[in-house]
Structure 1
Amino acid sequence: MKGNMKNMMKQMQQMQRKMEKAQEELHEMTFEATAGGGMVKVVAKGTKEIVDVEIQEDVVDPDDIEMLQDLIIAATNDVIKQVDDKTNATMGQFTKGLNMPGMF
């Protein structure tokens, strides 16, 4: 039994290192989303930090600020969803079959 426990601990340590590496890689990735047919673009890092927002001049209408706000919100929500989806897909491989509520 001692050997099995030692082997299991070794496997857990290997899995932990793989998870840490995967998380580091995710944090280095960038994601982008657009709204309004590309009129607004939002870029985020895998940490969900927004690093860039690009707005085409054509969409800036002083009489319709609400539309611009809506486009920024839509693009931001989309890019955050992309990060979440990628994180869940990447990190979920480590928790498959473990039945651990609240994990990724």
Structure 2
Amino acid sequence: MSGYRGGFGGFGGGNQMQNLMKQAQKMQEEMQKAQAALEDTLVEGVSGGGLVKVTMTAKKVVKNVEINSSAVDAEDITMLEDLLIAALNDGYDKADKVYNEKMGAFGGMGL
């Protein structure tokens, strides 16, 4: 094996490879912290001028639904359903925005 110098090919030796591994581990830890923060971050979707409010985490887990009594009409359940859908969609949009703000730095890394 003449000419073999050890190391990791194009990485220039074990020390650089070790540094890369440390950086990758640090990034993974930071990503896990950011994901945990998403579970603790609440957003509120609102519709009908506040008649329906949906609170969810930035990971889109619904935690609470508030419906103002004036939004409840037994003769027009469709309106309430539409308000609920609009509030959920508003919440999802806000959750997406928070997610992209917190996780955007990790995009495309596959960690």
User: Where on the TM-score scale, by shorter chain, does this alignment land: which range?
Assistant: 0.7 to 0.9
Count of residues in Structure 1 that have an aligned counterpart in Structure 2? 98
Decide which structure has the larger Cα Rg and report it.
Answer: 2
> For the Cα contact (< 8 Å) 2:43–2:95, is it kept in 1?
yes
**Alpha-carbon shift at residue 47 of structure 1 (Å):** 2.8
Q: What is the CA–CA distance in structure 2 between the aligned matches of 1:92 and 1:46, rounded to whole Å?
A: 14
**Alpha-carbon shift at residue 84 of structure 1 (Å):** 1.8
2:92 corresponds to 1:80: yes
SS, match of residue 37 in structure 1: helix
Unaligned runs of 5+ in 1: none
Q: Deviations over 1:2-43 (max 9, x none)?
A: 221111111111110000001101111111111000000001
Query: With structure 1 as the length reference, what TM-score do the two structures score?
Result: 0.85
Q: What is the CA–CA distance in structure 2 between the aligned matches of 1:57 and 1:39, rounded to whole Å?
A: 8
Query: With structure 2 as the length reference, what TM-score do the two structures score?
Result: 0.80
Unaligned runs of 5+ in 2: 1-11
Percentage identity across paired residues of the two chains: 43
Question: CA RMSD for the aligned pairs?
Answer: 1.6
Which residue of structure 1 lines up, in the alignment, with residue 23 of structure 2?
A: 11
2:102 corresponds to 1:90: yes
